[in-house]
Structure 1
C-alpha cells in the first residue's frame, strides 16, 4: 500500500518549518519526560493541529496481537480513551497499516473497498484518514493516525510528518521499555543491587539491599561503598570491598562471597559480582554491584556435609557397610563394618573373600532365599534388595537389609556387584514386637465380651468383632459411609423416640466427640429379635487433631434391663408391703399403747411394784415395735422415694446433723474433729440420714470415757471416700458383717437402745449412690465406717 499519488503543491517553507519545530519539540519532550502517556497525548494534539484533522489517535497493540487499544487521542470522547479497542486483523484498516512500513492513506472510506472493518470511523462521520505504524516494522508497538470528517487527500508532506512523529514516539516507547526493564532488575526482591561511581561513591541502592541494614538511602548515598553499614565495623570485610571496587574500576569483572551480620545479630551469606559499565571508548563510567542472599544454600551445603559425616560415622560404628563383589573372580571386597557383621576378618575382607564366606554367616532359615535372590540379580544384571538375618563373630543374630546393583560389561556379562548393607536389628525387633502386639490386640478384639466396631473417618465400617455381629444378628457391618447407617433401626430405650442419623454414637464420635455417657438404644436386630444395647465411643486422632478413625463398643443389656425392671417392680411391691404392714401394725400398737397408758393412769395406785414393772415393759416394747416398723418403711423406700442425685455440699449436711445431735453431744461431753468435706453427687436427705445414723452410733457405743469422733474425706479417682471414726467399744471381727443386717442387734436393749436397722439403712443408701460401705474395728479400740460417694463434676 502506498501514499496518495497527489504531489505536494506547497511552495512556501512556513508549514514545513512549523512541522520540523513540532517534531523537534516532541523529540526534546521525549528526552526530558518520563511520562509516556503525556507525550502520547501531546503528540496526538500536535498531529491534529498540524494536519488540520478533527481526530488524531495513538493506538497500542495489545499483547494478544488481535486488538489495538486507544491509548491516547484528541477528538474522541474521554470515556473511550484508554479503554476502546479495535480489531487488528490483516483485512482491517488498522491491521493493514500495522503490516506495512509505508503510511496508509484513505481519501474516502465510503468508496474504499480495501478494508473490511472501519465502522467505528464511519459512525463518527470520518471520510479520510492517514495511518503510520509506530516501532520496528517486524514488531510494531502501535499506530499513529489522523482523520478528517470531510473528503480530502492527505499529502506526502503530511505522511512524512506523521512518520517523523511516529519515529519520536517509537524511540520514547523503547526508552520506557528499557527503563522498566532496568527498574525491574534494580528492584528485584531477590537481588541486592548497588550503583557506584568508579571511585566507589554510592549513587543508588535498591530497596531489597536497604532492608538488610538499619539506615536510610540518604545515609549511604555519596559515601564510599566500603564504609557503608553492610560491611560491619573495623577491619571485617571493608578492606576486601575496597579492593573489589578498585579492581572493577580498572575494568575487571570481580566475583565475591562473604559472610555478614544484620543489625539484629542474624548471620547471612551473600554471593555476587562487581560489574564495570563502560562507554563507547571502553572507559569505566560506573560500577554495578549485584548479589544474592545464599544463606539457605549454604545451610543446605552444611547440612549435606554434616549428613556425610554422620554417614561416615555410622559406617565406622557398624550401622552401614559397603561391598563390591567382583563376580568373575569371586572376590567379595567389603568394608570393616560389613565384615564384622558377617563375622569375617576385616583384613581378609579388604583383600577379597569368596561369596560363600559370607553366605555361611546368613541365618540357616534365610540362606536359601538369599542365594536365590543373588543368583537372579546376577543372571538378569538387575537391582538387588533383601532383608535377612546373619550371625556375627559373637554368635549374635542381627537383622540386615542389603541393596545393590549388578553391573555388566560391554557384552552384557555380569562384572561387578556393588552394594551397601544396613543393620536394621532395632527397627526389625520393633516391627516384630508391634506385629505381636497387633495380633494380641486382634485376638483381644475378637474375644471381648462386649461388641466393638471400628470406622474410618468417612464413616466406612472397617471391622467389627463377633460379639458385635451377634448383637446385631449377623454380618451387617458393611456400610460405606455415614449415610448408610440409616439401615440400622433403633429407638431411644427411655423415650421410644426414633434415633436420628446424627444421634448414632458412631456419627457423634466421627465428629470428634468422646461418648463416655452411654447411649441406650432399643434396636430391631437383623435376626428379628429386639434388643436393648448400651454404646460408648472414642475418636482416634492424628498429630493435628483430625479424626482418622472411630471406635464404638456395644453391650447387650437386654437381660440387665429386664432384671432392673423386675427389681423395680419388686421394690415397689416391697414398699407396698412395708406401707401396708406399717399401716396395719401401727394402728393395733397405738391402741395397745393407749390402753396401757390408760390402765396406768386409772389404776396406777392399785398396781404393785411388779405390776408397774410389767406395765413399763409392755409400753416400751410397743414403742420399740413402732420404731422398727417406721425404720422398715424407710428402708423399703430408699430406691423409690429418693430425690434425684445432684451436687450436695457435705459441709452443710453434717452441720445440720450436728445441730440435731447437739443435746446428745453436750450430754456425753463428746469431742468432734471434722475435716473439710467435699461436694458430691447425691440425695441430700438420704445422705443426712447416713451421717445421722453413723454419728449417733459413735455417740452411743462408747465406754466410760467421753466419745471422740472424727470425720475425714479423701479423693479416690472419680469418688470421694468418707470415713467416720470413733474411739468407742469396737466390734468383734465375727460380728462385723452382722451390723448391716436388718434388725440384727449385737447388744441387748438393756445395754444400748436401738432398732437394729440404722446401719442397714446406711448401706442401702450408699449403694443407691453407686458406692459401698465397709467397717474396720477392734474391740476396745474403736470403729471406723468408710463409705464412697460419686464426686460432683
Structure 2
C-alpha cells in the first residue's frame, strides 16, 4: 500500500471534506464556489437541492443564477454580491428562489472573497430558511394585526410587565384616564389606582402571578389625570412563553356611566319597594274601608227603606180606610205622597248601585252580544208600540256580562221612558275600533239640546221637573261610570227633533 506523504495528505483532505459535507448536510446547508475569472459556479449536491437545480450538473455559468432568483429579490441580491467583491468583505443575504415547479423557497446566503494569486473566488454556504422565514412572517403579520387591534380597539388596552409596570398602552386608554401615553410607561399600575381599590388589585395580582388563575375580571377605580375617580371594568390575562410569564394583557373599559345607572337603578328599586309597601298597606286599608262602606250602605239602605215602607203602608191603609170619603184634593196629595216614597226608594237604590260600580268583583265570561241584547230587551218588556232593532252579525267578546248588560238596559230603558210618543224605534249597532267595539243606541225621540249633553251624565241631573216626570237622574251617570271603569268613553249626538244617538266604546277583551 502506498503510504507516501502526498497520499496521506490527500486522504486527510478527502476525509476533512467528507466531514464538512456531512456537517453541512446535517445543518441542511450546502456549499458553493464561484470562479470569478472563469465566470463559473460550483454548487454542492445539497446546494443544488436547496436551489431546485438539476442534480446532475454541478457547474453552472455565473450568469445563469439569475434565472432561479425571484425577480423581486434579484436587484438587492446582485448589489450585495457586487459590493462584497468590490470591498473584499464577507456578506450575508437572504432571498427567494423559484423552483421549476413554481414553489417559492427562502434561502440564506453567506459568502467570502478568496484571493488566489491573480484570480478571485467567491466561496460560501447557503441554507434553506423557508420554514423559519414563514414563521417570522406569520409572527410579524400576527403582531401587525395585534397592533392594529390594540390601537383601534374601542376599549382601553395595555400590556404590563410581570412586575406590574406599564409596557404599552393604546390611545383609548389614554383618553379614558386623561393621561398621555408616556406618563404610563415604566410606572406601576398602583400609582394611578384609587387607594380604596389597591387591596383588591393586590389579591388579583397574586392570583395571576402565582398561576392560581390565568385570567380574571373585576371593577376598580383609576385616578383620572384631572384627579377624579373613573370606574372601569378590568379583564386581565396572562401572556406566557411556556411556563414563564412574559407580560399581562389588560382590557380596560370605562363603566362610569353604567355604574351610575346601576346605582340609580338600585335607588329606584329601593324607592319602588317602599312605594309597593305603601301601596300594599293602602290597598289593605282601601279594602277594609270598602268593606266598611258596603256594610254602611247596606245598613243605611235598610234603615232608610224601613220608614219609607212604613210611610207607603200608612198611605195605603189611609186610602183603604177612607175609600170614597177623601176629597179630590186630598186624594191627589195622597197619590203624590206615594210617588215621592217610590222616588225616594229609587234614589236610594240608584245611589247604592252607583257607589258599588268598580268595587265589586265581576266574572269575565264569553258573551254573545246578540243573546245578551235579546235578554235585556225581554227584561225591559217594551210597550207594544216600540221596536228595538239589533244589527246583524253582532260579535262575541270576553267581558263582564252583567256590567255590559246594565249599560244597554239603562240606555234602552231611557230611550223608551223619555220618548215623546207612545210608539218609536230604537236601533243598536256595533263596529270595531282598534282594541275596542264602538256601540250606538239611537232612537227617534224628541232629541236633546247640545247645551245639556254633558249635564245628563251627572248624577241626579234631569231635564224635566220631577213633579212632571218620575226620574232619579242616576241612570246615565251609572252608564258613564261603568263604561269608564272599562277604559271606554260615552258621548251623545243629538239635537231637538232629531232623536238621540248614544255612543260608547267597550274593550274587545276585559282584563
- What's the TM-score, normalizing by structure 1? 0.30
- What's the TM-score, normalizing by structure 2? 0.45
